Amino acid sequence: MRSQITSRALLLFCSLVPVAQAAAQRTTEFGVDAGTTFGLGDESSVTFTLPASRFRVGFFLANPKWSLEPAAGLSYNKVEGEDGIFTYDVELGALYHFRPFVVATADKKDIIASFSSVYARPFLGFTGFSGGDSDDNEFSIGAGLGMKVPWRGDLATRFEANLGYGFDNEAMRIGLLIGLSFFTR
């Protein structure tokens, strides 16, 4: 049953990427994020993942204030004498930039703005692991608030704080992300 849910969630996630590509008008954002997550609940937890916990692709829509952003992260942990544990995390977010991040100029192609851009990001996630004594997965929902700070025309640093809720373990999570974004046409 869980493998069917996992398969369907991954199929839905993969089917959204071509839809986002078709809707993209200008810029695509490729990025990696390092992350810290604090789990709050009956069993509190802290997770640090450096240098990168996930890969993301952002597709700017016809309205440059909006972008659709699928993200994925995979990890494998093996301790001597124990079974290895494979962890996966897929997420779909929608970024709303409070002012457009992509700006057209008269003498050049579209370039990334030279100003920082604050954004809000609601997201849906699906996380799971297999190995060890059992397999488990969980749907989550959340929202983040962040800022993109450009370095030059095609690179920016991204900072985000988010709050999520996992339905399986009924716990809140506070997440902090710092990432690097590369923009293409």
> What is the percent of the chain where pLDDT is above 90?
35
* CA 120 to chain CA centroid, nearest Å: 13
- Write down all domains in the chain, each with its CATH number in brackets: 2-184 (2.40.160.20)
The pTM assigned to this predicted structure is: 0.75
Mean pLDDT of 7-24: 49
> Does position 13 have pLDDT exceeding 60, yes or no?
no
**pLDDT score, position 159:** 97
Per the prediction, the chain carries an average pLDDT of 80
DSSP for 11-48, written as a single string: HHHHHHHHHHHHH--S-EEEEEEEEEEEEESSS-EEEE
**pLDDT score, position 78:** 75
Mean pLDDT of 22-43: 77
**pLDDT score, position 118:** 94
**pLDDT score, position 15:** 53
Q: Is 67 exposed, middle or buried (0-12, 13-18, 19+ CB in 10 A)?
A: buried
Range in 14-23, 26-35, 92-101, 173-182 with the lowest mean pLDDT: 14-23
DSSP for 119-157, written as a single string: EEEEEEEEEEEEETT--EEEEEEEEEEEEEEEEETTEEE
Q: Label residue 41 left, alpha or beta by phi (over 0 means left) and psi (-120 to 50 means alpha).
A: left
Residue pLDDT, tens place only, 124-174: 999 888 876 667 788 999 999 999 998 876 889 999 999 999 888 788 999
**pLDDT score, position 45:** 79
**pLDDT score, position 58:** 93
Mean pLDDT of 82-108: 78
Place of tokens 């988010």: 162
pLDDT band at 19 (very low <50, low <70, confident <90, very high): very low
